[in-house]
């Protein structure tokens, strides 16, 4: 886990940190520590990173959705949702936000996160969409991004994972997000030439744009 003391950039309202390849459990603990120590004056942050291979099982996760672990660690975590896979070549954007200050409900935040990925893909002329019954972002019938959140005292953590250029095989070892036979895809397979560095920046920009638009709308309304 890299030192969190030095932000990569400090946009108008959000601190964005790039943490490289980071252990899942260490990052999860860092998110909990940050959330426990923050107050109403703490600036919101977005953490961009990748994880070594790991399955994470949300609080609603059912063990039967893990078909075979093939030696990959399984971590029972505190986000919502079922089981998913993280590995190198997948961008993670963790959102550490004061949702009360942003005046965001959980469902609205989920839609906002999805719209950030949809907007990113639109830049490459790829049509994507969310699904109300199964949160995430899909290109056709294949899932390209998954999400999960934890809300604690009006603060959220966890976030969204976008498949870029990774080994998708471990998704076949699970029922992704609890759905048997769910197809998954990634930006590389869709012909997007840009890699994780460029797409991480673009995803962070999209998330900030959506969050800032939300904040400015609230300020205008009041």
Residues flagged as binding site for substrate: 79-86, 146-148, 159-161
Bridging pattern class, strands 155-163 and 142-152: antiparallel
156 is annotated as an active-site residue: no
Distance CA(29)–CA(41), nearest Å, equals: 21
Residue 156 CA, distance from chain mean position: 12
User: Residue 127 gets which letter from DSSP?
Assistant: -
Rg (CA), the chain: 16
- Find the angle CA(209)-CA(42)-CA(160) to the nearest 5 degrees: 45
Within a 10 A sphere around the Cβ of 95, how many other Cβ atoms?
A: 24
By three-state DSSP, how is residue 165 classified? coil
Q: Which of 121, 177, 184, 204 is catalytic?
A: 177
Q: Which residues pair with 75 in a beta bridge?
A: 56
Binding residues, as ranges, are 79-86, 146-148, 159-161
146: tokens are: 């998954």
Active site residues: 177
């Amino acid at each position: 886990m890299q030192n969190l003391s030095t932000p990569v950039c400090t946009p108008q309202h959000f601190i964005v940190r790039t943490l490289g390849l980071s252990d899942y459990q260490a990052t999860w603990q860092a998110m909990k520590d940050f959330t426990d120590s923050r107050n109403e004056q703490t600036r919101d942050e977005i953490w961009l990173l990748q994880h070594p291979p790991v399955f994470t099982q949300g609080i609603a996760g059912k063990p039967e959705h893990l078909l075979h672990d093939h030696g990959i660690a399984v971590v029972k975590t505190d986000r919502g949702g079922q089981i998913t896979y993280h590995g190198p070549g997948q961008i993670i954007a963790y959102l550490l936000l004061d949702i009360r200050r942003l005046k965001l409900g959980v469902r609205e935040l989920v839609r906002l996160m999805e719209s950030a990925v949809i907007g990113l893909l639109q830049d490459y002329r790829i049509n994507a969409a969310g699904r109300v019954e199964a949160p995430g972002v899909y290109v056709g019938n294949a899932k390209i991004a998954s999400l999960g959140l934890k809300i604690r005292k009006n603060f959220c953590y966890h976030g969204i994972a976008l498949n870029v250029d990774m080994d998708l095989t471990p998704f076949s070892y699970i029922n992704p997000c609890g759905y048997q036979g769910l197809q998954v895809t990634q930006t590389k397979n869709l012909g997007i030439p840009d890699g994780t560095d460029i797409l991480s920046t673009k995803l962070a920009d999209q998330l900030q744009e959506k969050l800032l638009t939300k904040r400015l709308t609230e300020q205008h309304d009041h």
